[in-house]
Structure 1
Amino acid sequence: MKAVTWQGKRNVSVENVPDPVIQEPTDAIVRITSTAICGSDLHLYEVLGPYMAKGDILGHEPMGIVEEVGSAVTKLKAGDRVVIPFNISCGHCYMCTRGLQSQCETTQVHEQGSGAALLGFSSLYGSVPGGQAEYLRVPFADYGPVKVGSDLPDERYLYLSDILPTAWQGVQYADVPKDGVLTVYGLGPVGQFAARIGKYLGHRVIGVEPVPERREMAARHGIETIDFSDGTAEELRSMTGGRGPDAIVDAVGMEAHGSPVGAFAQHAVGILPDTLAQKVMETGGSDRMTVLHSAIDAVRRGGTLSLSGVYGGAASPMPLLTMFDKQIQFRMGQCNVRRWTDELLPIVEEASDPLGVTDLMTHEVPIDEAPAAYENFQKKTDGAIKVILKPQGVSA
């Protein structure tokens, strides 16, 4: 089969690799019909290379048609249409039964001290082959996959694999008061959905984003938007009675613009031998912190910061005096996808499309064009906001 593989920093290629097979009785094999490039894939493309191996299959936002199931699978059959969450979770352990599927005790990557294994996401999370491929082996198939109908197109369902529940969790964790103001830093795919979800839930929402096309997309959904600058925190205070927003979702993470020191650290780590680079990342501060520090400055006293963007530096500097003095609350973590999918599925199936899931994809390309699509998405050229790969070919 064809699959998108990691070959080195800023270097992916489409290769012919062996088809996946059933390895455990609880597995399923899914023929992938749509699979997205995520901002987290760009972390592997640029920053987290020390944890990758040449030939690793990328991708953790897939959906498709079940081709085969293992002997212990009872809830799926060949022909079912499914969305595959990026967490690999069992559904029955202590963590899963408490809605913490990203911490699943059955699939935790103990050798790395990490949470649940993830599809297509480096040795930090198990080096499990990902979904940017023609076929995918899905563990724990009776629990993870979300069965969906056949009447609506893939783009109505695909984002249930990651970015829609990630955004939903981010807003839930933000705990915005009933009459409160939510600010979302970063209007990439997760930020777009977080802003729309905030609006859907009845909040005033302000999006912060340096890329004009992304501000324009958010504005179509009733989101107030501002550019990002050194004066962003002051501008947000001026828009909120001098206090600052009640809650902020950081949908940017470790590769924020405007962080020259962090950018240098990430570049330096990227040219070290893998073993040494891993040690630096596990003990040093290599995140770009401009957005997070701006959010800490901007949020009102007693407010909440919800981190949906991924951070990877073990010792990134934080302004603890300010955080303590302002009585800021923090929530964060990988999304617990299956905690939210039953809640979200009816919303994405509504005829009115209240979250605008059909207004996110900007590029749909055959899987063979993945290398150019990665470069385009990383550089934010040609208006790229959300890129969908089609392993079975783009429909006419």
Structure 2
Amino acid sequence: MRALVWHGAQDIRCDTVPDPKIEQDRDAIIKVTSCAICGSDLHLYDHFMPGMEKGDIMGHETMGEVVEVGKGAKDALKVGDRVVIPFTIICGECDQCKRGFFSVCERTNRNKHMAAKAFGHTTAGLFGYTHITGGYPGGQAEYLRVPFADKTHIKVPSTLSDEQLLFLSDIFPTGWQAAVQCDIQPTDTVAIWGAGPVGQMAIRSAILLGAKHVVCIDNVPERLEMARAGGASTINFSEESVIERLFQMTAGKGPEKCIDSVGMEAHATATIDAMYDRAKQAVMLESDRPHVLREMIYVCRPAGTLSVPGVYGGLIDKVPMGAFMNKGLTMRTGQTHVNRWTDDLLRRIEEGQIDPSFVITHRVGLEDGPAMYKTFRDKKDGCIKVVIRP
């Protein structure tokens, strides 16, 4: 089969690789009908996330049709089922899964010793990500093996298109969880850093959850335009001070809730801390750039909440912990517990409350995938979300 394969930093190729096979009783094989490039994939593309190996198949936003089922998954799936595959691989049986904390499933990371060394405990296995999270082949391919498939799937109806459903795999529940973690009240101003795909979903989620005012911070014109179309006010951080503008918008109080939809590759324009981060990252003295985290801590209203769906991989520096503690802020983080949210989100799509396909700007075949990684990373050609049809 063909697949998008990692060969090194900024080197993704469309290769011919062996077809996946059933390896465990709970496996299934799906024929991929749609997949996507995620912002998290860019951390691998630029090799900011450790644990990648040459030959790894990329991708964790995938859906398709079941073509083979292991005997241990036959009560849950059958050939011909149409499914979206969550990026988090879950067993459904461990203590964390039973509590709904699927992204920290205790069983599915086949390299759990690596995760425990990096993070203190294992996380769930993830598709198409680093070997720290299991090194599972991803779904930017013609076929995908789904381990623990009896639990790691979302059955979807034939009445909706792939493009309406695909983002149940990651960015829609990720934006939703980011907003839910804020415990949004009707009087809240919610500030969202990043107008990429997750930020766009967080905007619409915050509005669905009843926020009084949503503000989105970015500097890419077409992304800010999409944020305004979703109901947000916008701040272009290249043109004005984010902190000053947010204080103006909130009568000097600051937003009650802040969401970091950017993560480890935060950008800023001519700020001392941003230049400091880039220099430290260049010489491997810091793995992640926490400019957005710092800004959120400074501007958030005391007793407010910071929600962090943006991915961080290692170590950060110069975080104002004194401000965080003395202002009584709460921070909630984590990879997304996808299956906790998908029944509700599928219902909202079916009822027409939201159509997640609004975020798609580019549609390509696998052979064009490598070039689209660079286009997406560089924010060229108005690129916000790329869907691939294998």
TM-score for the superposition, normalised by structure 1: 0.92
* C-alpha distance after superposition, 1:256-293 (max 9, x if no partner): 11222322333334xxxxxxxxxxxxxx5321121111
Deviation at 1:320, TM superposition (A): 0.9
Deviation at 1:70, TM superposition (A): 0.3
In the alignment, is the contact (CA less than 8 A) between 1:66 and 1:80 conserved in 2?
A: yes
Instruction: Say yes or no: does 1:156 pair with 2:164.
Output: yes
- Alignment correspondent of 2:365: 366
Q: Which piece of structure 1 moves more, 41-50 or 31-40?
A: 41-50
Alignment of 1:300-315 (within 5 A): 300-315=301-316
Kindly tell me: are residues 50 and 250 of structure 1, through their superposed partners in 2, closer, same or farther at Cα, counting changes over 3 Å?
Answer: closer
- Alignment correspondent of 2:229: 220
Instruction: Supply the distance in 1 between the matched residues of 2:281 and 2:295 (Cα, whole angstroms).
Output: 20
Instruction: Supply the distance in 2 between the matched residues of 1:2 and 1:49 (Cα, whole angstroms).
Output: 24
Alignment of 1:1-396 (within 5 A): 1-48=1-48, 50-73=50-73, 74-108=75-109, 109-112=111-114, 113=116, 114-203=122-211, 204-229=213-238, 231-258=241-268, 259-269=274-284, 285-350=286-351, 352=352, 354-391=353-390
* C-alpha distance after superposition, 1:223-280 (max 9, x if no partner): 11111257201210110121010101100011011222322333334xxxxxxxxxxx
In the alignment, is the contact (CA less than 8 A) between 2:164 and 2:355 conserved in 1?
A: no
In the alignment, is the contact (CA less than 8 A) between 2:307 and 2:333 conserved in 1?
A: yes
In the alignment, is the contact (CA less than 8 A) between 1:261 and 1:288 conserved in 2?
A: no
Deviation at 1:178, TM superposition (A): 2.5
Kindly tell me: are residues 257 and 325 of structure 1, through their superposed partners in 2, closer, same or farther at Cα, counting changes over 3 Å?
Answer: same
- Alignment correspondent of 1:273: none
Equivalent residues, number: 375
Deviation at 1:106, TM superposition (A): 1.0
> Which runs of structure 1 show a deviation greater than 6 angstroms over 4 or more consecutive aligned residues?
none
Q: Which piece of structure 1 moves more, 17-26 or 173-182?
A: 173-182
Q: Which piece of structure 1 moves more, 259-268 or 303-312?
A: 259-268
In the alignment, is the contact (CA less than 8 A) between 2:26 and 2:150 conserved in 1?
A: yes
Instruction: Supply the distance in 2 between the matched residues of 1:333 and 1:285 (Cα, whole angstroms).
Output: 20
In the alignment, is the contact (CA less than 8 A) between 2:185 and 2:210 conserved in 1?
A: no
In the alignment, is the contact (CA less than 8 A) between 2:376 and 2:384 conserved in 1?
A: yes
List alignment gaps of at least 5 residues for structure 1.
Answer: 270-283, 392-396
Q: Percent identity?
A: 47
In the alignment, is the contact (CA less than 8 A) between 1:171 and 1:198 conserved in 2?
A: yes
Aligned partner letter, 2:47: V
Helix, strand or coil at the partner of 1:144: coil
TM-score for the superposition, normalised by structure 2: 0.94
Instruction: Supply the distance in 1 between the matched residues of 2:291 and 2:302 (Cα, whole angstroms).
Output: 20
